[in-house]
Structure 1
Amino acid sequence: MAGKINTYREFQDFMDACCVKVQADPDLSGHGRWWRQMDYNEFVTTGEVKHRRVVVVGDPDNSIVIQALRGVPPDFADDPGALFGRMPQNAGAFFDVADIDEIADWIKRGCPNGGGGVPVS
């Protein structure tokens, strides 16, 4: 159901809920709950995890968060040559495709933060 995420706060809550659903504990990872550690402006402009831009506003396919959740090669593949592997690692399962699609839809719509405004880039 596209359009479930309409603000950064909803994105943050959605990420937390997805982690709970797959029994992932990002606090035990090397990056923590990065979506709680950066504010909206940082997220849409300069936000990085492990020296990689988290999101390309309007372009989910080139956003590292989507690549990591989908397991896009070469960096996030489930093979020995991948740098990181698919996220979340060491979880009970991966995010549902529908949940990843929700996040991708929000990114494609420009990461709106309520009020119909678009982010400053």
Structure 2
Amino acid sequence: MTITISNYADLQKNLSALVAANGLTPALAPHGVFYEDLDYNQFITQDMPGVPGFKIVEVGNAAASNIVMALSGTAGSAFDPNTGSIGPMPQPSPPYNTDTPTQADIIAALTVWINDGCPNSQADTAVQSKTC
């Protein structure tokens, strides 16, 4: 399944779909369901809630974005499944590639969105995220 992320509302919808399809419980993680709790500007400028020093997104550089490294289990990073201090996300048993959307689909779409500068021009105003 190919997915597209055109704005922050799409990102929220697709991450929520991944979580729901796999019965995951991110609310129990130190960062909580951060992509639902942060607004767009917070998401692209701030550290992961509860995990200081880990900026969520490096706009224009998906490879340096902690959200991509976490979902990918990037070797040599804190999210490396073998040596990382945190390990890949979402826990407990990533990657989740049997249900749709797959984790690989999310990573691919998220990578394009971040590398394109995290556009948000088509944001659905009916989908408002809570602010911290």
TM-score normalised by the chain length of structure 2: 0.76
**Residues 39-90 of structure 1, C-alpha deviations (whole Å, 9 max, x = no match):** 1112222x111111000011100000000000013311122x3211110111
Contact 1:54 1:63 in 2 (8 A): yes
Structure 1 residues not aligned, in runs of 5+: 116-121
Distance 1:84 1:92, change over 3 A: closer
Distance 1:92 1:64, change over 3 A: closer
How many residue pairs were aligned?
113
Give, in whole Å, the separation in 1 of the partners of 2:111 and 2:14: 12
After TM superposition, list the pairs within 5 Å mapping 1:1-121 onto structure 2.
Answer: 1=2, 4-45=4-45, 47-49=46-48, 50-51=51-52, 52-74=54-76, 75-79=78-82, 81-91=83-93, 93-94=95-96, 95-115=102-122
Root mean square deviation, CA, Å = 1.9
- Letter paired with 1:9: A
TM-score normalised by the chain length of structure 1: 0.83
Contact 2:71 2:103 in 1 (8 A): no
**Residues 81-105 of structure 1, C-alpha deviations (whole Å, 9 max, x = no match):** 3211110111575353122101111
Question: Runs of at least 4 residues of structure 1 off by over 4 A?
Answer: none
Distance 1:92 1:86, change over 3 A: closer
The percent identity for this pair of structures is: 29
